[in-house]
Amino acid sequence: MGRTLESRVNDINKPATLRGRTTFRELAAFGVVSLVLLVSLAIAPAKNYFSDWRHYQKSYVKLAGERQSGNLSRNFKGGIRQIWIPKLAVVDRCETCHVNQNGALVGASDQPFRKHPPVPHDLDQFGCVMCHRGQGAATSVQEAHYTTEAWEQPLLPARYLNASCGQCHLGPLAGTPRLNEGRRLLSAMGCLHCHTVTQPDGNVLKPSDDPPPLVHIAEKTSREWIYAWIKNPQAYAGSATMPNFQLSDQDAADISTFLIAQSTPSPAVKNVPFPSTPVHAEAADATAAATLYGSSFCSSCHAVQNAAGNLVGGDFGPELTRIGSKVNADWLRRWLKDPGQYEPGTRMSHYRFDDKQINLLSGFLLAKKDDDLLSGVHLSPADAASVVRGKKLVTENGCAACHQINGVAPPQNFAPDLSLVGSRALSQIVFVPGMKHNLPDYITAKIHDPRSFGPALKMPKFNLSDEQLTALTTALLAQSDRAAALPHELLLPAERRSDYHPGGDAGRLMEDLRCLSCHSINGNGGDMAPELTREGSAVQRAWLEDFMSNPNTLRPALIRRMPKFNLSPAEIKTVTGYILAAYQAPGFDSQTLDARRLDPDAAARGKQLFYSKYGCQSCHIADYKNDKGYVGPALAGVGSRLTPAWVYQWIKNPDALRPGTLMPNPGLKDDEARDLTAFLMTLKAKPGGGAK
């Protein structure tokens, strides 16, 4: 029509007459254009009508009708369902398809109609994408669940879902074992010596491993052992956490040459005299040595492979299976005499062994060797060029990030910051051939075999199981930009370790014994042994002095026990006095209980409560001859160990005295608590005997 008008107008002032009819070509063109417009206008409603969400909603209504859930099908309101949480920047339309989240349609087991498992959070409070990721605003399966050109973040695979909890919960959390293990591994495997990981609350994660200083390494071991160790740490100790740097023979030889060359004499050479007698290896000594090793509870911290090849013992200290192939005899004897003289920051206690005990233990340990370990090691004589090359390799590989080394400063910003690695854009990642293009698979592959991404990369290969790889990936996926942007009130910080250390003469003695390696006091220390912050309110002086002199077990089922430190009577009194005076429970009133009311009649009633009404013997042993409770500490000698006031207040409300304790609150009345206390205070027997 426009062309017809144009052809009939000669100029502005002289219009021509219009043509009577249009041509066929013009009509055809007009029809095609109209048809295209009509089809394009129909696409949107047609696409909406045949969309995934409408299909699922119709299927839900049909399924509800088939299962005779008439009310559900009649009351169902279709359409887009949306959750909007502005403060979390969450827009969720997931319930548009997942319409049975509340489980109203009983028995639906297939997605998207499966009931959501019980969770401690309200869906309207956090939405879906906070946990599952994906594109919450999408209304098609492809766009909501998978990576598209416009959206990089697909649904989080189920095995990594613990990572979502870690966005708010920054410390250990019950019910998230993979997240907890992953964070533990980040600290224990040395990752944090090179990588920075800052949590959303600003807390920077710290390493928990204890790499030895190498400044005196020549006293401890040989150049040949260092070579074998750095070539393949797991060939020496299967439990070794040091990674494999995949060094060439020449590089390993150069590094071992440099480490021996940089070594300086330790104070132990000057300050720790040798035991007066040589190391023995006679049969009688071997039996006595094995007994001493066992009674010193070395296996609480150190593991040894048994005849079946299984590791037996703790993982707090290094494995000792082949220790005789590693250490020099002179160094070992000085170490057993006083570990702190060689390594001031060691976690090993000063046992105060006498010369005979040192000879027995050193002979026992030196016999644990593997002659094949070093049989194939034949190094060329050390020279200055090898030392120079070795120092360069040590610097380039970042060895000083973990180990103290003379002449090599710890590297700064040696490895990428991982604080936001859980939301790294896929466009910034170089995937190796054959790898799925998603973030979890990339992180897992990068941990498992870092140098598959390029032989020039410095990150070594760690000895990790598939489950450990999954746990580490889970912990790193929790480090996301969404977590960093969460409102502060939603963050639940991890418990921070304090820098507490005991003071005075007792403090110096407790530092020498390394009490904080096993015990926690005022927020600092280990978790291998009981927490001592309130110990002074709990125990009796006579018992504590006797225990420090000759520790016995309080939990018969446990393998780990406190060793004997061969303390002098004066040292025992110093430590005991300090514990009783300094470690008191806040607000604890030792006068709340009238001891005169703990008479035989009350004890008899308490015994009935213990064995009948409350069944305390299910967890505790009051009589070693008859009781079988191994869950809680033995109570056979509790009358000599604990104060009556502590026992009374403990059984009334255990969590008030030790928050987080596993001991339940039985809800005792005052008179029941008093009667139970009276009975427990009659239990004066020592392990092996019956209750009096």
CA-wise closest residue to 335 among 449, 423, 220, 256: 220
Q: What is the pLDDT of residue 557?
A: 66
Q: What is the mean pLDDT of the chain?
A: 89
Q: 90: part of which helix (H) or strand (E)?
A: strand 90-92
Give residue-wise pLDDT tens across range 332-351.
Answer: 999 999 999 999 999 999 99
Omega within 30 of 0 (cis) for the link into 213: no
- Average pLDDT of the segment spanning 617-627: 90
Choose the final residue of a domain: 366, 384, 402: 384
285 in the same domain as 231: yes
In-domain check, residue 43? yes
Q: Which residue has the higher pLDDT, 257 or 67?
A: 257
Name the packing angle between helices 177-188 and 466-477 (round to 10°).
90
Q: What is the pLDDT of residue 1?
A: 44
223 in the same domain as 349: yes
Count Cβ atoms below 10 Å from residue 308 Cβ, excluding itself: 6
Q: Please say whether the beta carbons of 536 and 579 come within 8 A.
A: yes
- Average pLDDT of the segment spanning 493-519: 94
223 in the same domain as 358: yes
The pair phi, psi for residue 9, each rounded to 5°, is: -105, 115
Choose the final residue of a domain: 525, 558, 582: 582
Q: What is the pLDDT of residue 14?
A: 53
The pair of three-digit structure tokens given for residue 99, joined into one six-digit string? 């319409």
Q: What CATH number should be reported for the domain holding residue 444?
A: 2.60.40.420
Give dist(CA 630, CA 432) in Å, integer. Answer: 53
Q: Please say whether the beta carbons of 56 and 97 come within 8 A.
A: yes
In-domain check, residue 548? yes
In-domain check, residue 612? yes
In-domain check, residue 392? no
In-domain check, residue 608? yes
Tell me the residue type at 315.
Answer: D
Alpha carbon of residue 614 to chain centroid: 36
Q: What is the CA radius of gyration of the chain?
A: 36
In-domain check, residue 164? no
CA-wise closest residue to 435 among 459, 451, 421, 453: 453
- Average pLDDT of the segment spanning 407-436: 92
Q: Please say whether the beta carbons of 390 and 256 come within 8 A.
A: yes
421 in the same domain as 358: no
- Domain extent, residue 119, equals 52-155
Q: What is the pLDDT of residue 488?
A: 92
Number of domains in the chain: 6
284 in the same domain as 343: yes
Give dist(CA 553, CA 574) in Å, integer. Answer: 22
Residue 586: Cβ-neighbour burial (10 angstroms; 0-12, 13-18, 19+): exposed
Half-sphere exposure at residue 97, Cβ-oriented, CA atoms within 13 angstroms: 22
Q: What is the pLDDT of residue 122?
A: 84
Give dist(CA 100, CA 98) in Å, integer. Answer: 6
Q: What CATH number should be reported for the domain holding residue 221?
A: 1.10.760.10
Q: Check whether 556 has a pLDDT greater than 80.
A: no
281 in the same domain as 344: yes
Q: Check whether 523 has a pLDDT greater than 60.
A: yes
Q: What is the pLDDT of residue 8?
A: 47
369 in the same domain as 223: yes
Give dist(CA 623, CA 688) in Å, integer. Answer: 9
Give residue-wise pLDDT tens across range 638-688.
Answer: 999 999 999 999 999 999 998 888 899 999 999 999 999 999 999 986 544
Helix, coil or strand: residue 443: helix
352 in the same domain as 228: yes
624 in the same domain as 536: no
Q: For the ranges 363-377, 465-479, 549-563, which has the lowest average pLDDT?
A: 549-563
Tell me the residue type at 217.
Answer: I
Confidence band of 168 (pLDDT split at 50, 70, 90): very high
134 in the same domain as 88: yes
366 in the same domain as 273: yes
Alpha carbon of residue 592 to chain centroid: 41
pLDDT over 90 percentage in the chain: 65
Give residue-wise pLDDT tens across range 318-328.
Answer: 999 999 999 99
In-domain check, residue 162? no
Q: What is the pLDDT of residue 61?
A: 87
pTM: 0.85
CA-wise closest residue to 532 among 508, 500, 556, 509: 500
Q: Check whether 312 has a pLDDT greater than 60.
A: yes
CA-wise closest residue to 353 among 179, 195, 565: 565
Q: What is the pLDDT of residue 472?
A: 98
306 to 295, 309, 319, 375, 533: CA distances (angstroms): 18, 5, 12, 23, 37
Q: Which residue has the higher pLDDT, 347 or 286?
A: 347
In-domain check, residue 127? yes
Q: Check whether 405 has a pLDDT greater than 90.
A: yes
511 in the same domain as 484: no
Q: What is the pLDDT of residue 44?
A: 62
Q: 525: part of which helix (H) or strand (E)?
A: strand 524-525
Choose the final residue of a domain: 437, 455, 490: 490
Residues 6+ apart with CB under 8 A from 284: none
The pair of three-digit structure tokens given for residue 120, joined into one six-digit string? 């401690």
Give residue-wise pLDDT tens across range 91-131.
Answer: 999 999 999 888 888 888 888 999 998 888 888 888 999 99
